[in-house]
Each structure stands twice: as C-alpha cells, then as structure tokens.
C-alpha cells in the first residue's frame, strides 16, 4: 500500500514506522520545516552567548512506555544512552518525599511508600489502603469519578506530595477535575503492571533526536518520503482510494492536532460522497468539543549550580504564614542530562496566566525553594499542549472512513495526552489499515 501520513509529530512518525515495518510505503506531509510536532527541539542562547538546544516543553518517559521504547530501538536509538534510567523518585529539595528502591515491580512501590520520608504511619497507611482498593476493583471506577474523589481517603500530605503532582504530570489536569479511570490505567501500568514500569527515563537527547528525527531517517532509508513545508488542504475520496493534490494513495493517516484534523475533514466533507461526508463531520464535531490545558516550561540558568538529583518535585506553596502559591511542579537539571551546566527546566502543568507573570513566579519559586538566583533563558508556553482529561470525556475514534484514519494523543484510547499515548495511537491507526477487510484487496 502507498500510505499518506499528514503530520510528522510523534504519532505520525509512529504510524510511518509501523506502516514501513509491514512492507508499505509511507509518504509523510509536514506543514512545518521541522519534525516532532509539539514535542520537538528548538534553539536558544544562554546569557553567556552559548548556543543551546532546548525542547518545546520538558518531557520524561517511564518504563511503562513500552511501545515508545520499542519503536525508538527499531529506528536505531540506543535507549541505554539516550535515556537516564533511575527508580521512581518524587523528592523535594529538602529531601523529603517518595523514592523507590531498585526492586522488581510491585515491591519497589510498596517499599517506596513504606520508606517515604516526612510521611507519618497514618499517611503511608492511607495510601496503601487506597492502592489495595484499586487492585481489588481491578483498577476500575465509575466513569464520572475524579481523581480527587478516587483518592479522598488519602491523607492531606499524600494528596499534596504524591497524588496531585502525579495527576497533573500524567494527565495535565488538576485532580479535582481529572478522570479517575484514566489515572487508574496509568497507575496500573506504571506501578503494578509492567515490570520496571515505574522507572523514570529522563531524556539525554533533545526531543527531536529522541525519536522523530531518527524515525524520519529510518523511514527514508526504507524507501519512504518526507515532505517538509507541505501543508495538506484537501483529501478527496476516489473510490476505494484517496487523493491529495494530484497524487493517489491507498490510505491516509491524519496525524495533526485535533483542531487541524477537524479543519481538514470539514473542508473535505463538502466534496465527499454523503455517507463519507457524514462520518467526517461527526468526527470533526467530536474533536471540536475537546477542551485544552496549557503547559509552560521556564528555562533558567546560573553559573556553577547543580541539583542533588536530575529531577526534583517542587511544592505548590511555601511553609511561611502567608502560604505563597507557586506554579511549577517539577524542576530538571539539564546539566545532568547532557545540557550545559547550570541550566534548569521548570515545568508548570495545567498552567494559566501570561508568559511574563509565570516566568517571574517561577524565578521567585527557585529563589525560595532552591536558593538559586536564576536568569531566565526562555519560557515556552504551549497553550494547547494537551486535551483536558476529564471524567466521561468523549474522544474522537481512530477510524473515520474506510482507508481514512486519525491518530494523535487526543484520539480515543486508555492513555492521557502523553508521548506513549501519541505513539500507541499512531501504531494502532497504521495497523488498522492492514487488518481492515475492506482493504484486503489492495495490492501490496
């Protein structure tokens, strides 16, 4: 099959690699001049004048990201050197918090909870009771239950120091309005399911090189093509095939953002047969109902500084009588991850407010909680970073029409808007084209 893939983000490149592995030819259209979508690298300059590669948002992986790790290895990425692997640790600057030992799953989680620093016996018992309840219910809950409701029996400290940071980092939605069912799936795979699933995998490469660029090189080597600066404005049904411009394809994978995918389909529905047009409009209507959350990453620098760990959890409020609120949940030491010494990345999930205010608040947070007087390097605000992962959310399906599928971290699936969610979506979308009996007559 000759397959068109519209969009060269992580989902699109996963679809391209999967299609190529199955012996098909992938032609990738990317409107931008760079590959990677919302998880890509960008150039910047330190206050010293040194050029540096940053990311369009700081990301991490975990051991449960099995599909992502598999595809990275397929396209030639050495995951042992590209990722810093360490046991799960959610430690604060004062060294309190949760740290798993290097033990098998789920013993690592049990030992980590029992050994959590700064937690009372009552704190630990509350979490163990809740986690046992999750297992007894086979990690299922009512469709409309929130994470806050799901964990209401946890102590306030456990909620503040574990549940809320985990929820906002995984779902990019506050616990008070985040989907309990999606959160349970992440917890099941990361803490109790996949062996080594809880391990933190911190990128030592910029996000473009971590997978998308390597995938692009691999696809081209296998006979595929990538067309940068090629915006697709029309996809037309042509019998059992599809036409883009003057080129005919056996199948099309739309791997752009939800809003861009909806725009393409609404425009195409006007010229499509009515049965296909209805499906296009219905899919676009569902996609357009999604709400979004922002993520802000503040890169800041100071000479001769380092964190005690490559990644630290930050407190949302200081311990003074004023209880000043702070925005960032995590800070990463890029100097320990292959970047220049002294460069830190602060992550504000589910962020709100303007760029300048957030940047100023994060620099104040660094001074208060880390004791560092930092200079801002660059602040990246991704306003539509992820969909709001709320209870009962209806997400658009992968299948749009025979031979026309969509993929992306927002497409229906068990995972929230993560790199693994995007990759799994791309793999599933591509595989559906090969197993669809309506396309079995297409010559390969």
**Helix (DSSP H) and strand (DSSP E) numbers for the chain:** 15, 21
Mind listing the pLDDT tens digit for each residue in 194-226? 889 999 999 999 999 999 999 999 999 999 999
Beta strands in 195-235 (DSSP E): 200-203, 225-228
Mind listing the pLDDT tens digit for each residue in 296-312? 999 999 999 999 999 99
pLDDT at 318: 73
Whether the pLDDT of residue 415 is over 60: the answer is yes
Looking at residues 74-83, what average pLDDT do you find? 97
Q: Which of 207, 205, 211, 213 lies closest to 30, judged by CA?
A: 213
Mind listing the pLDDT tens digit for each residue in 141-156? 999 999 999 999 999 9
Whether the pLDDT of residue 401 is over 80: the answer is yes
Q: What percent of the chain has pLDDT over 70?
A: 97
Number of Cβ within a 10 Å radius of residue 383? 10
Looking at residues 180-191, what average pLDDT do you find? 93
pLDDT at 233: 86
pLDDT at 436: 60
Give me the residues paired with residue 390 across strands. none
pLDDT at 372: 97
pLDDT at 391: 97
- Which position has the token pair 């990345």? 345
Mind listing the pLDDT tens digit for each residue in 332-357? 999 999 999 999 999 999 999 999 99
Mind listing the pLDDT tens digit for each residue in 110-127? 999 999 999 999 999 999
Whether the pLDDT of residue 434 is over 90: the answer is no
- Which position has the token pair 């004048």? 49
Pairwise CA distance, residues 309 & 95, whole Å: 10
Q: Which of 43, 46, 3, 8 lies closest to 25, judged by CA?
A: 3
Asked whether the beta carbons of 52 and 339 are under 8 A apart, the reply is yes
pLDDT at 338: 94
Asked whether the beta carbons of 429 and 256 are under 8 A apart, the reply is no
Whether the pLDDT of residue 314 is over 90: the answer is yes
Asked whether the beta carbons of 154 and 130 are under 8 A apart, the reply is yes
pLDDT at 194: 81
- Mean pLDDT over all residues of the chain? 94
Mind listing the pLDDT tens digit for each residue in 4-56? 999 999 999 999 999 999 999 999 999 999 999 989 999 999 999 999 999 99
Whether the pLDDT of residue 242 is over 50: the answer is yes
Going by pLDDT thresholds of 50, 70 and 90, the confidence category of residue 320 is: low
Going by pLDDT thresholds of 50, 70 and 90, the confidence category of residue 321 is: low
The helix (run of H) or strand (run of E) holding residue 13 is helix 10-21
54's tokens? 């940053």
The domains found in the chain, sorted by start residue, are 2-39+209-291+391-439 (3.50.50.60), 41-84+202-206+292-387 (3.90.660.10), 88-198 (no CATH)
Angle between helices 66-74 and 419-435 (to 10 degrees): 70
Asked whether the beta carbons of 401 and 281 are under 8 A apart, the reply is no
Pairwise CA distance, residues 424 & 157, whole Å: 34
Looking at residues 392-411, what average pLDDT do you find? 97
pTM score, two decimals?
0.94
Q: What percent of the chain has pLDDT over 90?
A: 91
Q: Which of 401, 416, 398 lies closest to 276, judged by CA?
A: 401
Going by pLDDT thresholds of 50, 70 and 90, the confidence category of residue 438 is: low
Pairwise CA distance, residues 79 & 56, whole Å: 21
Q: How far is CA 206 from CA 261, 299, 401, in A?
A: 27, 14, 36
């Amino acid at each position: 099959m000759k397959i068109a893939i519209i969009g060269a983000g992580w989902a699109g490149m996963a679809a391209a690699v999967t299609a190529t592995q199955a012996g098909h030819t992938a032609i990738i259209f990317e409107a931008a001049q760079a590959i990677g979508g919302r998880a890509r690298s960008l150039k910047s300059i330190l206050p010293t004048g040194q050029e540096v590669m940053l990311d369009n948002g700081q990301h991490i992986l975990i051991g449960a990201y099995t599909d992502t790790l598999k595809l990275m290895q397929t396209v030639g990425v050495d995951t042992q050197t590209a990722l810093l692997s360490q046991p799960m640790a959610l430690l604060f600057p004062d060294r309190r918090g949760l740290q798993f030992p290097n033990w098998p799953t789920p013993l690592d989680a049990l030992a980590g909870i029992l050994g959590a620093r700064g937690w009372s016996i009552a704190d630990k018992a509350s979490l163990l009771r809740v986690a046992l309840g999750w297992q007894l219910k086979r990690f299922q809950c009512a469709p409309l239950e929130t994470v806050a409701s799901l964990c209401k029996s946890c102590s306030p400290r456990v909620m503040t120091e574990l549940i809320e940071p985990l929820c906002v980092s995984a779902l990019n939605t506050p616990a008070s309005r985040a989907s309990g069912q999606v959160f349970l799936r992440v917890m099941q795979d990361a803490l109790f399911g996949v062996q080594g699933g809880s391990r933190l995998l911190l990128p030592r490469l910029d996000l473009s090189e971590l997978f998308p660029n390597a995938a692009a090189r691999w696809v081209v080597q296998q006979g595929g093509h990538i067309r940068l600066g090629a915006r697709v404005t029309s996809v037309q049904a042509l019998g059992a095939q599809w036409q883009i411009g003057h080129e005919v394809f056996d199948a099309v994978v739309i791997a752009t953002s939800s809003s861009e995918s909806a725009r393409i389909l609404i425009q195409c529905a006007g010229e499509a047969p009515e049965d296909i047009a209805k499906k296009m409009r219905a899919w676009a209507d569902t996609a357009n109902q999604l709400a979004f959350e922002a993520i802000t990453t503040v890169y800041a620098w100071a000479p001769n500084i380092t964190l005690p760990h490559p990644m630290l959890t930050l407190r949302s409020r200081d311990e003074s009588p004023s209880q000043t609120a702070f925005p960032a949940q995590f800070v990463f030491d890029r100097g320990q991850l292959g970047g220049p010494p002294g460069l830190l990345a602060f992550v504000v999930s589910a962020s709100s407010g303007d760029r300048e205010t957030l940047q100023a608040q994060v620099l104040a947070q660094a001074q208060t909680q880390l004791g560092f007087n930092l200079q801002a390097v660059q602040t990246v605000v991704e306003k539509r970073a992820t969909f709001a992962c709320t209870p009962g959310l209806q997400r658009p399906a992968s299948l749009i029409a025979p031979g026309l599928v969509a993929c992306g971290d927002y497409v229906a699936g068990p995972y929230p808007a993560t790199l693994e969610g995007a990759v799994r979506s791309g793999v599933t979308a591509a595989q559906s084209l090969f197993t669809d009996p309506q396309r079995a007559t297409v010559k390969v």
